[in-house]
Every structure is written in structure tokens, then in C-alpha cells.
Amino acid sequence: MVKTRSAAPEVQAFTISSLPPSPAQRRLALGVVLALMAAFVVAAGPLSTVPLARIDAFVPMYVAAMFVSDGITAVLLFAQFAILRSHALLAIASGYLFTALIVIPYGLTFPGAFAPEGLLGAGLQSPPWLYFLWHVGFPLSVTAYALLKNADPSKQRWKGTLTTASLLSAAVVVAAVCAATLLVTAGHALLPRLLRDTVSSAGPLYQSSAARIVLVNAVVALMVLWIRRGSVLDLWLMVVLCDYVIEISLFMIPVVVNRYSFGWYAGRFFGLISGTLVLFVLLYEITTLYARLVNAILSQRREREARLMTGDAVSASIAHEVNQPLSAMIANADAGLNWLTRAVPDLEEAKAAFTHIAADGHRAGAVIAGTRAMFKKDVRARTTLDVNEIIRGVLAVVHDELERHRVSVRVELTDSLPWVNGDRVQLQQVLLNLTTNAIESMATADGARALGVTSEIHTSGGVLVSVKDTGTGVAPEDVDRIFAPLFTTKGHGMGMGLSISRSIIEAHDGRLWSAPNAPRGSVFHFVLPADTAMAAGRQAARHAGAGR
């Protein structure tokens, strides 16, 4: 129970009764009011007295449209009440339910709609009195809504069950409509006369105090809501009340009151506007909320998939990178055992093998730390590096693999390369991945096996390193996917080597890409920016030497 109540404040930011209107919504509401005022000027002008054809089916259609629109609006507002448990929402939902139900007896008693004198045994005065009660009841519900909505938050929420509140409100509304219908039908003879006949309205509603009561009631509701305004629902309820004021003002003009005239039909048009405005806004806001909900769910799903992918990538990356030093450790361990198990053990060779094992172990630890830091976005210490030195070190590591697969090596390193600022272990990983991939690609290919590693000064002033092979190459359909995480063309591959390599190079502000090698195979290039601080230091030293 506590969770249900505490969730409401978090939901309020997304509901029409709590969401503040945007400037665009305010401008739209003002435009609607101005358009209604312009329509009022036209309807109250010379065209108002123009008689139009009497359409007996017009009133039933009008009543049906009002019942459907106000009924749906009431249902949507009751749903809002079920979320927020607000007394204010319960009041306005009951008001819309009242207008939806009272139009039924209004249509049944209207002369000519379903019977020449109306149904329900009603008299001539029943429709205007129902119209009067209709247009008094709704502004009263708006006033109640405005007075309740800014009450103490601890007191403005319904504490009982939602079903009880909704059913009790509906029962009160139904009882009020039934009582009003009984009063204006069975007791119509006791009510003051508002109409003279079924067509004209000499000495009618506009001459009585009823019209003034309706008008003042709507204006008071509008003023109270204006003072306590704050939400999208408040904004459009004010527009509805403006429409009510215009509608009542139209029927207070003596020349407009004749039924089936242009002005009379225009008054029903204003009634339809008042009945559909909030419905359209509710439907729009609900659709917008639904779209936001869908986007939030999709975003959450993408975030969850990204987290799972990151976890898979980290584990696959560590396994991929540690596999190389582990393989070297196993090979050196086997070699060391062989030297020790000879008839005359060669301790120097065994010592050298164990030294390599220790070095590979340290390298494996550095690889793990580097991979974790890359995914955690840690800032690792970077130093000034000589790329040629890194290349020579990596070629020494893969020397045994090159010999085992009978791969010839051609190394072309440019002297006096600019130094780069970076992480030695991570850049070694990149070169080790590229050379290992090249060896594995050539291991399954026929013909000459040649590995080419070059370094040169790039046109940008940085260092360009290229690793060429004469292997199977990259299929055209895989060119755009080879750097994607978990994508691999090898049966035993994990699909992380090239992805990690590109991430490392880009983290060093560089670029890694591939191209076909002629006549066959692939070539992978990467560019690293020069260490500008080191270059400036060297240039200053040269100038100082020249000065001496």
C-alpha cells in the first residue's frame, strides 16, 4: 500500500493534470480562443437571423456526439484519478459524466427530435431547463476542481478504494441527472416559462434571469481556475469555459434565438467545441506519453543489451589477449622441461626458458590491466614512445610463430620517426594482434608467405605503421564488419582483436583501417599523432646547438 501511494508524485510529472503547459500550448490555446471570438462575431452578425432548413435529425446527432465525447473524456479523467487519487480529478471527471448523461433527456425531450412534442411526456419548457441545468452543472464542477486541486497534498488524495470512489461519484451523478429529468418533465408546469413556442423565442431565455445565472456561473468558474491555474488540463478547461461564455452570450442576443437559424446552429457548434476540446487534448497527451513510454522501454532495452555486450566484450577481450602470452608461457615451459630432462641438463637454456615464462606472465598481467582500463575508461599513464622499438619487440615475440609457419619477414623502418605519446602495453597489443592475424591468415593460404611491417612519417606529421600479409585477405562483404565487436571469420576466433585494436588506436587519437594488398592478402594501417611536446623539445635543442 505504501508503494502505491508513494508512486503518485513520480507519475504526476507525466499527467495532464500536473504537467505545466508549454509556451506552444499557451499560444495554441490563445489562438483557439481568438478563433472562437471571431466565430462569435460572425454568428452574432447579420447572418445570425438567416433561416436555414429544419433538420430534425440534427439534434439527435448533436446529442449523440456530445454523449460520446463527454463520456470518453469522463472515462479518461476517471483513469487519471485512478493514478493520482486526486479529489480534484474526481470532481472534474464527475462533471464531464454529468454533461454526458444530461444530454440524453435533453435530446429525448426536444420537440421534433424523436417525437413532435418530445418524449418522456415532457412539455415545451423541458429542453431549455435541461439546457440550463447542463450549463450550470459543468462550471460548478470546474469550480470544485479548481478549489480542490491545490489543497494540502496529504489531504487531497483519496484514501479509500478506487472502485468505491468511482462508483459513488457515478451514482451521485446519475441520481442528479434522474432528479433533474424528473423535475423538468413531471413538474414542468411548476417551472417558469422560458420559451413561447417550438420555433420562436419571444420573451425567452435571454429575457429571464436564467441566462444571466449561467453566464455569471461560467465567468466565476473561469476566474477561479485562472487564479489557481498551473497545468495543461487547467489551460484547456479555461478555453472550454471561454467557449461556454461565448455560447451563452450568443443566446442572450434577441435576434439570434430563433431555432433553426444560422445563429442557432452556430450555438450548437460552440457546444460541440466545448465537448471535444479536452477530449482531443487528453488523447494527444496520452499518445505522447505512450510514445515516451515506448522510447523509454526501448532505451532501457538497448542499455541492458549494451551492458550485456560490454560484459561479453570484456570477458572475450581478456581471453583473447591473455591467450597469446599463455601460449608463449606453455611453449617456454615445455622447452624448459626438455632442457632439464636431458641426460645432461642444460641449465642455461632452462633458465632462459623460465625467464621468458616470467616475462610472459608479467605481460599477461599488463594485458589484463590494460584491457580492464580500456573498458572502464581509466586514465592510464602514458609515456613518450619510439614506435620502431615497439615493432622490433613485437617481432621478437612472434619470432617462433613466424618460423613455425615458414613466414618470411620484410621490415622497413624509417629512421628519425617522430615520437608518440601512448601506453606501451596497449600499442604492443595492437601490433601483436595485427601480426598474429596476418600469420594465421597466411597459415591456411597457398603460395609464398610474406609478412611486411613498415613505419614512416605520415602526411599529417604523425607515424604511419603498416602490416601487410599474403594471406586469404578480407572478403568484400566483411570489410565493414571486421572491426565490429564479436565478429570473426575464424572458426576459433572470438571477434575481439580488431575491435580492441581500433579502440586502442582511437583512444590514442589515431586511426586504424584496412585495405587489400596486391596481389593478394590484406594490409592494415594505423596512424598515431606525434608527441608535439617532444618534437618542440627536440627543435629547441637543435636551435640551441646551432647557436653554440
Which pairing describes strands 450-457 and 511-516: parallel, antiparallel, or unpaired?
A: unpaired
pLDDT of residue 219: 92
> Parallel, antiparallel, or unpaired: how do β-strands 463-468 and 383-385 relate?
unpaired
Q: Are 138 and 98 in contact (CB under 8 A)?
A: yes
Low-confidence ranges of the chain (pLDDT < 70): 1-15, 121-124, 150-159, 194-208, 253-258, 299-300, 302-324, 363, 365-381, 485-496, 533-548
CB-CB contact of 94 with 145 (8 Å): no
Of 103, 127, 140, the C-alpha closest to 214 is 140
Q: Note the pLDDT of residue 319.
A: 60
For residues 521 and 142, give the distance between their C-alpha atoms in angstroms, rounded to a whole number. Answer: 78
Q: In this structure, are residues 261 and 54 in contact, taking their beta carbons and an 8 Å threshold?
A: no
**What is 188-202 written as a DSSP string?**
GGGSPP--SSSS--S
Q: Which three cell numbers stand for residue 516?
A: 587489400
Q: How many whole angstroms from its chain centre is CA 406?
A: 56
H/E run at residue 541: helix 532-547
Contact 485, 309 (CB under 8 A): yes
Biggest alpha carbon distance in the chain?
A: 133
The span from the CA of 257 to the CA of 249, in Å, is 11
pLDDT in tens, 356-411: 787 777 767 666 666 556 555 455 567 899 999 999 988 988 888 888 888 999 99
- Residue whose C-alpha cell reads 629547441 in the numeric block: 540
